[in-house]
Chain A
Amino acid sequence: MSLLHSLLTLSLLFSSSLAFRSDELLIDDEEFGLEGGVQGHPKSPAVAQTRSSPPPSTATTTRKRYSDSDQDSKIQFSLEHAFGDSEFSPAGTFTARLKTWNHGGQTLTKLRFSRNDFTELEKEKFQNVLKGDDFYKIRLPSNVLSPPGREFIISSVKARCLPREGLDEHFVIHMEGINILAVNYGSPGACPHPRQLKLPTKWSFNSHTVLKNTEQAQRTPIFSEEILGGEIGEGGEVVMPPERSFWAKYWMYLIPLGLIVMNAITQAMNMPEEQAGGQPQQPGAAVQRGPPAAVRRR
C-alpha cells in the first residue's frame, strides 16, 4: 500500500512539475489503455479501431477473478526518445498493473502512459529533425521488471509523419509475458509519401497505446473417416456432374447433323420447284451459272 502511495505522490510530483498536465483516460479493463493528451479530444478513428480488435488470448472470466487479487502489483517503465542521432533522454512513463496468473505466467494490464512535454531545447531539436526529414526514435526496456533487460527495444519513425494539429503518435507494444518483444511506433494514420514539412501548431502529444499479445493459431481440423468418405463422394460428384442434358453432350454432332438436314430440306424444297418448272428452265439456269464459271476458267 505504501508503495502505491509513494508512486502516486511521485507521479503527482512528476506531473505537477510539467507545464502540461496529462489527463489520463482509462477506457476499461482491457489490456490496452488509451491516453488522451488533450482532454475532450475527439476520439480518432484509429482509437476506435484499436478497441475493436482486443487481443483474444485472455479469457474474461479468469481476468475478473484475478483483477483485484493481491498478486497484482503496479510497475513502471520509462520511454526514452532521441532526435536523429542524438542521445536518448527520458520522454515519458508507462505504468501498468502486473498480473500473476495461477499457472505462474505474468502479464501486464491497464497500461497507462504519461508523456513529458517537449522542453524548448527538444522542440528545437524536433524542428531540426523535421527540417532534415530525419528519424525520431524511441526506446523501451525489453524487460519491464528489470529494465532495460537484455537490450533496449528501439523503434523510429520519420519525424514528418507525426505532426497533425498536435503531434499524433501510436504505440503498439508486443508483449510476451513481462518481456517487451517489439514496439511499433508511428503516426496513427497514414503518412503520405512525399513527406511535407509541417510544423505542429500545438506542441502536445496525442498518444495511443495498444498492448498486443500473440494470437493462437487455429487447430488443424481433424475429420473423421465418415465425413471424409462423404467428402470424397461429394468430390466425385463434382468431378462428374450427374446429368448433363443430351444437347450439352452431343451438340458437336447435332449441329452438323442439323445443317445437313436443313441442306437436304432446302434441296428437297428446290427439287420439286425445278421439276415443276420443267425442262425449259434448265438451260436458263445453266446460262445463269455459266458465265462466272467461264470467266473463272480463263
Chain B
Amino acid sequence: MGMQMAIRVFLPLLLLLASAEHSFSLYEDQVGLMDWHQQYMGKVKHAVFHTQKTGRKRVVVSTEENVIASLDLRHGEIFWRHVLGTNDSVDGIDIALGKYVITLSSEGSVLRAWNLPDGKMVWESFLQGSKPSKSLLSVLINLKVDKDNVILVFSKGCLHALSSIDGEVLWEKDFSAESIEVQQIIQPSGSDRIYAVGFVGSSQFNAYEIDAKNGELLKHKSAAFPDGFYGEVLLVSSDMLVSLDATRSSLVTINFQNEEINFGKTYISDLVEESSSNAVILPSKLSGIFAIKVDTFSVFIRVTTEGKLEVVDKINNAAAVSDALSFSEGQQAFAIVEHVDGKILLTVKLNHDWNGDLLKESIVMDHQRGLVHMVFINTYIRTDRSHGFRALIVMEDHSLLLLQQGAIVWSREESLASIVDVTTSELPVEKKGVSVAKVEQNLFEWLNGHILKLKGTLMLASLEDIATIQGMRLKSFEKSKMTRDHNGFRKLLIVLTRAGKLYALHTGDGRVVWSLLLSSLRKSGSCENPTGLGVYQWQVPHHHALDENPSILVVGRCGPNWDAPGVLSFVDAYIGKELDSLDLTHSVTQVIPLPFTDSVEQHLHLIIDADHHAHLYPRTSEAIGIFQNEFSNVYWYSVDADNGIIKGHDLKINCIGVADEYCFDSRDLWSIVFPSESEKIIETVTRKLNEVVHTQAKVIDGQDVMYKYISKNLLFVATVAPKASGEFRMVTPEESWLVVYLIDTVTGRILHRMTHHGSQGPVRAVFSENWVVYHYFNLRAHRYEMSVIEIYDQSRADNKDVLKLVFGKHNLTSPISLYSRPEVITKSQSYFFTHSVKTITVTSTAKGITSKQLLIGTVGDQVLALDKRYLDPRRSVNPTQAEKEEGVIPLTDSLPIIPQSYVTHALKVEGLRGIVTVPAKLESTTLAFAYGVDLFFTRMAPSRTYDSLTEDFSYALLLITIVALIAAIFVTWVLSERKELQEKWR
C-alpha cells in the first residue's frame, strides 16, 4: 500500500508541475539567453559581384544547399537569403539590368528574378521543354531590345529568350527535334547574333546562328570530326572553341564563325612532355587562354592569333582559376590561386600578358581548410585611383573567405550548413586554484550585475542600464566557459559535416571551439569519393578520470556505394586532434555501439559490412575477451528497404576463410518478408540507445497500475502501398494504405500490426519508452494525421497486490526473456495535425522523470514543442473526474498548435533536417539542437524548471531583504530594550 500511496501522492504532484500549458514561451528579453541561432548558406558554387555605384558592395552567391544569398563584402554578413526547395537546385546565377538577380533552377525549368537590394522576388517564369539537357543561363548585356536586356536560357533542349523586366518569353527555339546536345550559347560582343554550338552523336559538330532579336535561324553549319569528342567544349575566344578528342590525347580547336567549320588538332604530348592521356579541360571563362589538367599539373595554354596553341605556364599544385573580369578599357584579368608551402598564393594576371602580374599576394591559410576549390575576383578602385582586386575563395572544407590586400578580411564556416551527424561531449572538469584577483573581479562584477538587476526589478533602471543588463545577460561569462558546469548545460556539440570536417561547438554561445578537416575523409588516390557516415562516442572517461580526454569515433566510407571500403578516425574531443585513423578492408553498412567498455573506457563497437560480417572494434584482445562473454546475447537486424525484407541475425564463431579474430560470421535467425506487390518499407525507427526510463509503472485513474512494455529491441516499421510510396503520387484512397508494425528485433515477433486505410507517406516517427508517435497523410480526410501507439506488458499486470510485493511474491525482479510468449496489449489513437512535418524527436532528460514533449520540425522550418499528453490513447471526449485530475486532456479531433510553444520563437532554421536532444544534468532541463542550413540551439524545460531557481532570480533582492530584516531586528531590539529600561526606572 505504501508504494501505491507514494505513487498516488507523487504523481499528481508531478502532473501539477507539468500541467503548465504554456510550457515553453519566452519574454522578449529572454531571447538569446539560452539559445543561439546561426545562419549559413552551404558551399558556394556561383558568385556574382554587385558593382552598382550606389549602395554597399555586395556579392550574390548560390550554393550547393540551394541557397541564394546576398552578402556584405566588408563583413561577410548575409543581407538576404532564400532557401529554395530540396529539388530546386540552382544551375546558374547572373545580374540583369543592374538591379535584378536572375537565377535558373530546377534543371533549367524555373527562372526567377530577385530584387538586388532586398531580395524580394520580382518575377518567376516556368520554362517548358521536352528533353533533359544542360542548363545554360546568360544575360546579354550589350543587346537591347526596347531598353530591355535579353536573358538567354537553354534548358530541356530548348532555347528561350526572356525579357528581364517581367520574365516574359520573347521567343523560343526548340532544338529537341535536331538531336543536338547543345554545349554552349555564344554571343559575340557587339553583334545581335547568337550561336548555339553542340554535338550530334560523338563526332558531329553543329553550329546554329540565330538572330537574337527574334530567334530566327540564320545559318546552320555542321561538320564531322572523325576522331570524336570527349567532354565539353570551352570557348577560348570569340570565334574559337576548344575540346578534347575521344582518346583524350589531343586538343581540338574549332573555328566556327567562318563559312566552314575548321578543326585543328594539337597533341597534348607535343605541348606537355610527360603527359598521360587523362587530360581534362578546366572549366573557365577566359579569353585567349585556357587551362587543362594533366595528372597533377594545371597547364595554361594560350591561343595565338594564328590559331596555334602554346603553353605559357605549368603549375604543379592544386590550383583554382577564376573567370575573366573586365575592368578599365576592355582589359581583362583573372586570378589563379595555388598552394605554395603552407601558404596560398593569389596571382591576378592580365589576360593577354601572362608575365605581367597585376597582383601577387601570399596569405597564410589555416591548413584545416584544405585546398582551394574555387575563386571569384572582383575589382575596386583604390584610394590612389588604381585598380585593386579582391578574391572570394571557396575552400575544400566549404568555407568562404574574402582576400584583400594580402589578408583574410572575413571567413564563413559554410560547412556547418551540411551537418551529417551530431554527438555531444562533456567539457573538462574545472581545475581548482583560481587566482584571487579573478575571484575579486568576478565578485565585484557579480555584485554590480545584481545591483543592476535589482534596479531592473524595482523599475529604477534607466534605458542604458536596461541595455547593459541585457548585454550582460547575453554575454554572460558563465555561459561560455570551457569547463563543466553543475547543471550540465555546457557541453560540446561535435558535428560531422559533408565536407569531412569535424567541428566542436560550445553549447553556451555556439562558437567553434575547434575544427578538424579529417585526413581520412579527404579525397586521395586510395579514396576517391569519401563520405562521412556518423560520429560516435568512442571513449568517455569516468567522472573522476580527470587526466583523460574523451574521444570520438568518426565513421566514413570511400565512395557512394554501400560496398565501398570504410574509414575510421579517432579524434580527441577536447583539443580536436586526430589520434588515429584506420583504412578498413571491409565496408560499413551499420555501426552498432555495444553497451560494454574496456578498461580504458573505450566503447566496444560492432561494424557490420555488406556481406553481413561483424567486425569488432577496438581491435584488442581485451575487447575480444569482453565480447566473448556476451557473445551469445548479441543479436542484430538488417533492413533491406528495397526488397522489403527485415532479417534478424546472431553471431557465429569467427569468419571463415579470413584469419581475423575480430571478424565474426552471422547467421539468419528470423526474417519478415513484406509482399512486394502490396507493401514497401518507408520508415523504420527504434528507441534511442541512451534513453533513460524512470518508471515502468503507469498509474491509471489513481487506482490501477499498468506496466509499460519497455524493451530496447523494439523496431517500428511503416510500410505503404508501392503505388503510394513516392512523395504524393496520385492515388485514390482505395489503393493506398499504411501498415505499421512493432517488431521485436531479437525474435522477429510482430507485437503489433495495424493498417490505416486510405493513408500514405511520408511517415515521420519517433519511438520513446513504450510509445511511438508517427505522422502521415490521410487521403480520405485530406489532412495530415498523427497517431500514437502505446504498448503495455500484461505479464506483470497482476503485480498489484501490495502484500505480494511486500512478501516478494512478484515477478518484477525476474529476468525477462524475449523468447517467452509476450503478453502485451497496445492502445492507439489518431488525431489530425495541421502541418506537414520534416522531422520528429522527443525531449530527453537525465532521469526520465520530467514529462516529455515532442519536438516537431514543421514544414516552415520551425521547431514546435507539443506535449506528449496530447497524444495519449486514454484521451476521451468526456474524461472522468479521476482522469481529469490526472491530467488527461479531453479528446479533440486535431492537435492544438499553440503559437507560444514554438521553441524557435520567431526564428527559422532554414532547411531543417534534424533535431537532437541531449539531457542536461538538471533533471528538468533538456538541450535541443536543430540543424539544417541554419543551426539553432536552446535549452528547454518541458515541465518548467521545478528543480532550480530561474535565471532572473534576484539574489540581490533576497540579500537586501535579509539585511533589512536583520537591521529591523536590531533596531526593534534596541528599541524594546530602551523601553524596558524606561519601564524599569518608572
- Residues of A near any B CB (own CB < 8 A): 46, 85, 133, 135, 137, 142-143, 149-158, 161, 170, 172, 174, 176-177, 179-182, 184, 186-195, 212, 214-223, 227-228, 231, 234-235, 238, 286, 289-290, 293, 297
Contacts and interface: CB of A to CB of B under 8 A. Distances in A.
B538 interface: no
Contacts of B820: 161, 186-187, 189-192
B892 A228 contact: yes
Contacts of B795: 190
B821 A186 contact: yes
A217 B755 contact: yes
B671 A152 contact: yes
A131 to B, nearest CB: 14
A154 B671 contact: yes
Nearest to A180: B673
Given A215-B754, A217-B756, A220-B785, A156 B829 contact: no
Contact of A153 (B650, B672, B747, B829): B672
Contacts of A222: 781, 893
Q: Which of B756, B820, B828, B983 has the most CB of A within 10 A?
A: B820
Given A157-B819, A217-B755, A217-B787, A235 B673 contact: no
Q: Which of B675, B832, B977 has the most CB of A within 10 A?
A: B675
B750 A151 contact: no
Nearest to A222: B893
B731 to A, nearest CB: 18
Given A153-B673, A184-B749, A215-B753, 18 more contacts: A135-B669, A142-B673, A150-B676, A155-B747, A155-B748, A157-B747, A177-B675, A184-B747, A186-B747, A189-B821, A191-B819, A192-B814, A217-B740, A218-B828, A219-B830, A220-B785, A221-B877, A223-B892
Interface of B: 632, 643, 645, 647, 650, 652, 667-676, 678-679, 739-740, 747-750, 753-757, 778, 781, 785, 787, 795, 814-817, 819-821, 828-832, 877, 884, 890-893, 977, 980, 983-984
B206 to A, nearest CB: 50
B891 A221 contact: yes
B549 to A, nearest CB: 39
A176 B675 contact: yes
Contacts of A172: 749-750
Contacts of A184: 747-750
30 contacts: A85-B652, A133-B632, A150-B676, A154-B669, A155-B748, A172-B749, A172-B750, A174-B750, A177-B675, A179-B678, A180-B673, A181-B675, A181-B750, A182-B670, A184-B749, A190-B795, A190-B821, A195-B817, A214-B753, A217-B756, A217-B757, A218-B829, A218-B830, A219-B830, A220-B778, A220-B781, A220-B893, A221-B893, A238-B884, A290-B984
B243 to A, nearest CB: 49
B755 A214 contact: yes
B832 A176 contact: no
B893 A216 contact: no
B819 A158 contact: yes
Contacts of A161: 817, 819-820
Contacts of A191: 817, 819-820
A44 B144 CA distance: 92
A174 B884 CA distance: 39
Contacts of B828: 217-218
Nearest to A160: B819
A32 B456 CA distance: 74
A179 B719 CA distance: 15
Contact of B980 (A151, A188, A289): A289
Given A216-B754, A220-B778, A220-B893, A176 B672 contact: no
Contacts of B821: 46, 170, 186-190
A271 B643 CA distance: 97
A227 B878 CA distance: 11
The 3 closest A-B pairs by CB, nearest first: A193-B815, A179-B675, A190-B820
Given A184-B747, A190-B817, A190-B821, A216 B755 contact: yes
A158 B669 CA distance: 10
A182 B891 contact: no
A248 to B, nearest CB: 16
Contacts of B819: 157-158, 161, 186-187, 191
Contacts of A297: 977
Contacts of B679: 176
Contacts of B984: 286, 290
Given A156-B670, A187-B819, A220-B831, A231 B892 contact: yes
A213 to B, nearest CB: 8
Contact of B669 (A137, A180, A214, A234): A137
Contact of B673 (A149, A220, A228, A286): A149
Given A176-B679, A193-B814, A297-B977, A151 B671 contact: yes
A193 B778 CA distance: 43
A297 B980 CA distance: 12
A192 B670 contact: no
Given A158-B819, A217-B830, A234 B890 contact: yes
A103 B296 CA distance: 67
Nearest to A290: B984
B644 to A, nearest CB: 9
Nearest to B825: A53
Nearest to A175: B675
Nearest to A293: B980
Given A176-B678, A214-B753, A214-B754, A151 B673 contact: yes
Contacts of B884: 238
B672 A181 contact: yes
B771 to A, nearest CB: 15
Contacts of B650: 135
A129 B753 CA distance: 32
Nearest to B759: A217
Q: Which of A184, A187, A228 has the most CB of B within 10 A?
A: A184
A150 B781 contact: no
B671 A153 contact: yes
A193 to B, nearest CB: 4
Nearest to A148: B673
Given A192-B817, A215-B755, A218-B830, A177 B672 contact: no
B636 to A, nearest CB: 14
Nearest to A57: B755
Contacts of B893: 220-223, 228
Contacts of A142: 673, 675
A182 B671 CA distance: 7
Nearest to A174: B750
B666 to A, nearest CB: 12
